[in-house]
Amino acid sequence: MQKKLLKLGKIIFPNNLKINKKFNIGIIGSGKMAQNYIEIIKSFNHNISVIVSLSKNQNAKKIAKKYRSELYHDYKDIKNTKIKIDAWIICSKWNNLDKSLRKLIGLNKPLLVEKSIIMSSKNLSKFFNKNIKNSSKVFFAYNRNYYDYIFQLTNQLRNNNSLRYIDAKFYDPYSKIIKAKGNSIKKYLPYYITSHWIVLILKIFNLLDIKIINVEKKKIFSSNKLSSVVLIFKLKFNKEIIFFRMANMPDEPKNHIIEFYLKRGHIQISPIEKMSFIKNIEIKKKISQNIYVPNVKNVKVDNKYKPGLRALYYSFIKENFFNEKSVLKTSKNDLIKAYKLCELLN
């Protein structure tokens, strides 16, 4: 079935993606995410031409030496360089990301922006209107949109007209992040982490043409000074009205879970990297009781690279240099919608 869907362009297999032309890529940052991108870039045989590390650490020097890249420590060096850079990937620390984006936006080069932009939805909208005239040149790196199972999930839901209800619970470790990043990140936590799950859900809705009609907010309890909030969505799908419950439940030690309840069986995403499709319930008879066992089909993402990242980079290059648009891309309008929901969920 997967091979058949692949021929129809319905499934992305990251290892099968190829880009025959070479590109020179510049990277802002030298941390873990920058190294993840370097692995992806090298898998396409592209060049890591420039690395910009604002902190003069040994790690940046090692990476630059290994890949024979120019190493800069200031944004001014980017403007003065004579090296031809085709595209930039921004992997700055969370509190430097906005600054990096502002500095690079004027270069008029394709930008792939990792992590979430730390601005309110209102300020984000103003920034886009003022600075980003050609939005196709800016990709927001929400790699979960590109997980291998996304088209399988949407095909199942599209071809099965029995969707009744959707439920999502997010268990983001807010206190752990505050301890690691400092108190200054507190008011930005929904953008920093919860936006990733919301962007994924909105992308699934977009692919399925699910319309949000109404949203209601409820606060259900407060723990460790962190409120737990529930949003109830009224949705329209295939001319039917269905409901979606989204709950933010910080600091509980559980996997995130998104569940799609059907007339018979259901589909769940949990952990986020795996989709389980429960088709039906099998009954195994015993002497004194019946044992009910779900018939489960699991679909996992490819873990050779950071999940979704290779397909994301592929789409970024293809759209900007080969005019092949991706339906999985997070647009600026998608991001603003997600941020507005983050603010409701906070």
Helix %, strand %, coil % of the chain (to 5):
40, 30, 30
Q: Which domain holds residue 193?
A: 145-306+331-345
Query: For 16-21, what is the mean pLDDT?
Result: 88
Amino acid, single-letter form, for residue 334: D
- CATH number of the domain encompassing residue 166: 3.30.360
Quote the pLDDT of residue 124: 87
Quote the pLDDT of residue 3: 47
Whether 1 has a pLDDT exceeding 60, the answer reads: no
Query: For 248-260, what is the mean pLDDT?
Result: 89
Within-domain flag for 3? no
The answer to whether the CB of 60 falls within 8 A of the CB of 53 is yes
Query: For 205-229, what is the mean pLDDT?
Result: 82
Q: Which two tokens stand for residue 133?
A: 């005239």
What confidence category does residue 237 fall into, taking pLDDT thresholds of 50, 70 and 90? very high
Amino acid, single-letter form, for residue 273: E
Q: Is 165 helix (H, G, I), strand (E, B) or coil?
A: strand
Whether 2 has a pLDDT exceeding 80, the answer reads: no
Q: Same structural domain for residues 163 and 89?
A: no
Q: Is 83 left (phi over 0), alpha (psi -120 to 50) or beta?
A: beta
If one counts the domains in the chain, the total is: 2
Q: Same structural domain for residues 201 and 253?
A: yes
Q: Same structural domain for residues 176 and 55?
A: no
In this structure, of 239-253, 281-295, 330-344, the range with the lowest mean pLDDT score is 281-295
Q: Same structural domain for residues 194 and 226?
A: yes
Query: For 40-55, what is the mean pLDDT?
Result: 92
The answer to whether the CB of 269 falls within 8 A of the CB of 204 is no
Give the domain-ending residue among 143, 166, 193.
143
- CATH number of the domain encompassing residue 132: 3.40.50.720
What confidence category does residue 6 fall into, taking pLDDT thresholds of 50, 70 and 90? very low
Give the domain-ending residue among 143, 159, 187.
143
Whether 258 has a pLDDT exceeding 90, the answer reads: yes
Quote the pLDDT of residue 16: 76
% of the chain residues with pLDDT over 70: 89
CA atoms within 13 A on the CB side of 40: 26
What confidence category does residue 131 fall into, taking pLDDT thresholds of 50, 70 and 90? confident
% of the chain residues with pLDDT over 90: 47
Quote the pLDDT of residue 310: 94
Q: Same structural domain for residues 94 and 166?
A: no
* Average pLDDT of the chain, as a whole number: 86
Give the domain-ending residue among 95, 112, 143.
143
Q: Same structural domain for residues 26 and 76?
A: yes
Quote the pLDDT of residue 223: 53
How does pLDDT run across 166-205, given as a tens digit for each residue?
Answer: 999 999 898 899 999 999 998 888 899 899 999 999 999 9
